[in-house]
Amino acid sequence: MNIRHTVISSNTEFDNLETEWNLLSRKTDSHVFQTFDWNRTWWKYFGDLGKLQIFVLYDEDKVVGIAPLFFDRYSLFGFTYYTCLRLIGSRIGKTNDGPLLGVNAYSDYLQFIILDKYTASFYEHLMVFINNEILFDAMILEEIPEHSSTLGLLENDFSSSGFKVHVENASKTTRINPQENGWAGYLNNLSGNERKNVRKSLRKTNKNEDNVFRTLILDNSEDFELYLNQLIDLHQDQWNREGFPGTFSQKSMKNFFLETCRKLQKKESIRVYALIPAEETKLENFVAMAIVIIYKNQMYLQHGAMDISSPLVDIGPGKVLNTTIIKEAVQSSLTFDFLRGNEEYKQRLANNINQNKTIDISTGTLRQVLLSKIVDITQYLKKRYANEVIRKDFITKNHSFIAGWNHYTRFLFSRMANKLKLVLNS
């Protein structure tokens, strides 16, 4: 074997990797978040202020491993004072339209993409790259699946090379793995009460006896963009009414979502579901919507939303739609992935709960530790401030100055009271 590595730092080189990247991701234990389209689109909208450092391992001219890395740089008055090596798809310090409002990585699973045969060679060459070719203050890899080889091998290799390695829990993800007896097997593994609730939800759709809703699969390619924007509007309205900015309040996030969906739609890897009242004739009057990605025998629930102004909201249209989609996934022998979130209903319905990890690798010097803390605190405060400005603007919209601030103040007191209740009940 003629094993060698290279580092890609330009968009042109990145684009030239598309075919081999997709072949590699198909052959490895990877998720949709490791596909070329996902990574390239993410970089387009969030990577302008960083610097690509994509590590590629070759056997002759064949790509056998990729670490989609980049430098996330923090600057003050044009001087870069802290450099962090991250995986594409991670949370970042800043985008062109301000701090990224989310507190977590946008991608739910992140890891290296390696053919099993080349795992040892990949990490051997990666350590050469880290030790001899680059300078960084920290390497922070987020949302690594707990069973990923990326986690264990990195921890061992870096520790033996004198780096300080810290691993901590990140997000939990919940899945429904296919059952031996299909849908009947899945139901039998639920608690009696949950099994009753699932059946009750399903009876509310289509031709069942308690028919309230109709389920639609919106696969008209000409109207695909329209469906996406309707889902965004429902999602934003739902969160805004609760006093939160919502995922799509930031232009870069909205554009990233739309372009990623367009690319997946061309490959028939995405599906939009909707729920409408059973007697409704206008198909655009959606009570609930959901968008799922289908990749390598897995169905990911990317986003869902419901019309909370609908008179049918108390019947639980979101739950009805989710249950319908889950049944379709299980009957098709697909793994259904709720992705991130600690919501109780996800844990009740899932049969597999996973703990993602964050691995923090650094030299451990006093300077590095202090700068890391300063960066974390600064970014947290920036995001909280940006979120609060959007929240305040929404709550005070269409009100006079005094009435608007009255609404906003009441919201703040309500939020503080809810947090106090959580503390007292914990």
DSSP string spanning 61-127? TEEEEEEEEEEEEEEETTEEEEEEEEETTS--S-BTTBS-S-SS-SSS----EE-GGGHHHHHHHHH
Average pLDDT score over the chain: 86
Q: pLDDT tens across 18-72, in order? A: 999 999 999 998 999 999 999 999 999 888 778 899 999 999 999 999 999 999 8
Rounded mean pLDDT of 414-421?
77
Give the best-scoring range by mean pLDDT among 2-16, 69-83, 201-215, 239-253: 2-16
Has residue 313 got a pLDDT over 80?
yes
Question: Is the CB of residue 338 less than 8 Å from the CB of residue 346?
Answer: yes
Has residue 102 got a pLDDT over 60?
no
CATH architecture under which domain 179-333 falls: 3-Layer(aba) Sandwich (3.40)
- Give 148 or 384, the one with higher predicted confidence: 148
Buried-state track 218-257, b at ≥16 Cβ within 10 A, e below 16: beeeeebeebbebbbebbbbbbbeebbbbbbbbebbbebb
Report the pLDDT value the prediction gives residue 93, as an integer from 0 to 100: 63
Report the pLDDT value the prediction gives residue 104, as an integer from 0 to 100: 58
Quote the tokens at residue 4: 């060698």
CATH superfamily of 3-170+356-364: Gcn5-related N-acetyltransferase (GNAT) (3.40.630.30)
User: Among 194, 187, 174, 204, which residue's Cα sits nearest to residue 320?
Assistant: 204
Rounded mean pLDDT of 408-425?
77
* Residue ranges of domains in the chain: 3-170+356-364, 179-333
pTM above 0.75, yes or no: yes
Question: Do 3-170+356-364 and 179-333 have matching folds?
Answer: yes
Has residue 171 got a pLDDT over 80?
yes
Report the pLDDT value the prediction gives residue 402, as an integer from 0 to 100: 80
